């Protein structure tokens, strides 16, 4: 369940639907505080909490998309960069999944990969593609592991041929065990992949059947053990807590199984009840009952404590590794504001243009995507312009993802008023969160507690809203001439 890999595309949809402009609506800042004196894991915040913290985006009028995109393609890329390659097919829709797009047919694979390769080939000399080294590539979906061994090899080799990959580039292939085998894994590794990310969700036999997972526990474990024995690259898995009929014992057994297998990395994700999913409909009708929201923190705490007891290292609020092979580069870099080159139908990316950064999304329909490629036309379907303060917001998101926000990195960034100090602006909110048990202040550092790591997404959203509003107020206030005394910025 790598929702990070599709985050940019969903970000555009969400902002089109809810904001329609770059500035979010003003809120009563007291609503961004946490509840003090409560169980920080259960009741720190009330109400729904967002899947992704996006603030400061505005849609570009459709009539302007073509000209801006042309300028972006002709602009040399200089920022830290990653790439995302989308395979928008699944063999079936899992109960919890809100991103199902297209039913898989074996005949789709070769023609879709042909189009992907052509998109990579035709832009190989464009400045936007041939610029700075690409540090990580993520093959996401959908289910990339549905591709045949030959097609998987072809598209990975094309990425290595046509993108300026860094020598230590992380190349991840996401997928699921059903439809994958050791021959495909070997083909992926032979072609240059060095990381496999598989959606396990749970090892429990009954839960797997409920979720629509087609591989039984015994076959699943045997396959993961065989992948690890290959010793060709990092093998990481996802586990979900809060599933219907998943009690604490089942969850702790799942985490313990992953630890015992010796996976290179494990993600522990909270179940998100997304609209219009089979699970959401089943919950509405009472057929299935996911864990209540106030119970999710206890699951997270139990899983995190098991990881800590096994001496696994936390690379982010949701991701742990057992050794040095796993790096989790794509997910960390894309959340810190890296440029992201997007390939495939429905893929989302980010690029800097002549007047700032933009999020973009390719046309989602695979047939239309192939037609555009065949005609030599752009596949970009829409653009969202990032706010001028995006560098500030990205520093916040990156620090919160790691669990350690260095407030010194937030000062002297472009597009902020001369006397605006984000550290001073954020002080009341951070102090209140410390009283609520969500973080500790240590000089310039704001370090998330374990409860804070559970609420990290919600807290990041609140920080960005708080900063956005503070910036609006600062920009609306007439500015005094810049002071020559710099002590207040030290």
Question: How confident is the model over 103-133, as pLDDT tens digits?
Answer: 878 899 999 999 999 999 999 999 999 989 9
Rounded-to-integer distance, Cα 416 and Cα 241, Å: 40
Residues of the chain with pLDDT under 70: 1-25, 48-55, 93-100, 477-490
Residue tagged 């990975």 (tokens): 156
**pTM for this one?**
0.90
Predicted pLDDT at 195: 98
Cβ proximity of 356 and 337 under 8 Å: no
Rounded-to-integer distance, Cα 82 and Cα 163, Å: 10
Predicted pLDDT at 149: 98
pLDDT in tens, 139-167: 999 899 999 999 999 999 999 999 999 99
How is residue 253 annotated by DSSP? H
Architecture of domain 58-334: Alpha-Beta Barrel (3.20)
Predicted pLDDT at 4: 42
Contacts 24+ apart (CB under 8 A), 432-437: 432/33, 432/34, 432/36, 433/33, 433/34, 433/459, 435/36, 436/33, 436/34, 436/35, 436/36, 436/38, 436/40, 436/44, 437/40, 437/44
How is residue 444 annotated by DSSP? T
- Which segments of the chain belong to CATH 3.20.20.70? 58-334
Predicted pLDDT at 417: 86
Instruction: Give CA separation, 469 vs 23, 112, 147, 323, 489, in Å.
Output: 9, 44, 46, 41, 21
Predicted pLDDT at 471: 92
Cβ proximity of 397 and 335 under 8 Å: yes
* Residue 311: both structure tokens together: 């001496």
């Amino acid at each position: 369940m790598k929702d990070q890999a599709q985050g940019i595309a969903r970000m555009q949809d969400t902002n089109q639907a809810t904001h329609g402009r770059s500035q979010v609506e003003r809120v009563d800042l007291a609503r961004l505080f946490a509840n003090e004196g409560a169980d920080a894991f259960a009741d720190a915040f009330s109400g729904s909490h967002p899947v992704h913290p996006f603030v400061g985006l505005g849609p570009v009028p459709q009539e302007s998309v073509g000209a801006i995109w042309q300028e972006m393609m002709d602009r040399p890329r200089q920022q830290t960069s990653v790439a995302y390659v989308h395979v928008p097919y699944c063999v079936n829709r899992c109960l919890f999944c809100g991103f199902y797009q297209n039913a898989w047919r074996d005949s789709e694979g070769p023609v879709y990969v042909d189009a992907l390769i052509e998109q990579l080939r035709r832009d190989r000399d464009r400045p936007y593609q041939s610029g700075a080294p690409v540090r990580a590539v993520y093959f996401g979906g959908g289910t990339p592991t549905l591709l045949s061994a030959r097609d998987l090899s072809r598209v990975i080799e094309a990425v290595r041929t046509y993108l300026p990959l860094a020598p230590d580039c992380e190349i991840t292939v996401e997928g699921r065990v059903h439809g994958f085998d050791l021959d495909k894994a070997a083909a992926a590794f032979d072609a240059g992949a060095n990381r496999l990310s598989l959606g396990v969700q749970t090892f429990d036999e009954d839960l797997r059947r409920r979720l629509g997972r087609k591989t039984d526990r015994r076959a699943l474990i045997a396959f993961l053990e065989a992948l690890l024995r290959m010793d060709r690259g990092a093998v990481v898995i996802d586990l979900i807590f809060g599933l219907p009929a998943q009690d604490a014992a089942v969850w702790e057994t799942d985490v313990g199984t992953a630890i015992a297998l010796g996976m290179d990395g494990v993600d522990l994700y909270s179940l998100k009840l997304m609209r219009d999913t089979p699970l959401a409909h089943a919950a509405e009708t009472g057929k299935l009952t996911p864990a209540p929201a106030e119970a999710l923190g206890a699951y997270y705490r139990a899983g995190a404590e098991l990881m800590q007891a096994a001496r696994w290292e936390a690379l982010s609020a949701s991701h742990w590794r057992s050794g040095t092979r796993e790096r989790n580069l794509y997910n960390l870099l894309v959340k810190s504001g890296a440029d992201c080159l997007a390939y495939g139908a429905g893929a989302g990316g980010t690029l800097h243009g002549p007047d700032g950064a933009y999020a973009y999304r390719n046309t989602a329909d695979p047939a239309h995507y192939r037609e555009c490629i065949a005609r030599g036309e752009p596949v970009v379907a829409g653009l969202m312009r990032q706010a001028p303060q995006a560098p500030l917001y990205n520093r916040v998101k990156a620090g919160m993802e790691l669990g350690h926000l260095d407030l010194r990195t937030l000062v002297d960034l472009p597009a902020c008023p001369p006397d605006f100090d984000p550290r001073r602006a954020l002080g009341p909110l951070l102090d209140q969160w410390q009283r609520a048990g969500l973080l500790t202040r240590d000089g310039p550092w704001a370090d998330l507690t374990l409860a804070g790591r559970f609420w990290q997404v919600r807290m990041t959203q609140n920080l960005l809203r708080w900063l956005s509003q503070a910036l609006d107020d600062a920009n609306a206030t007439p500015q005094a001439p810049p002071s020559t005394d710099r002590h207040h910025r030290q």
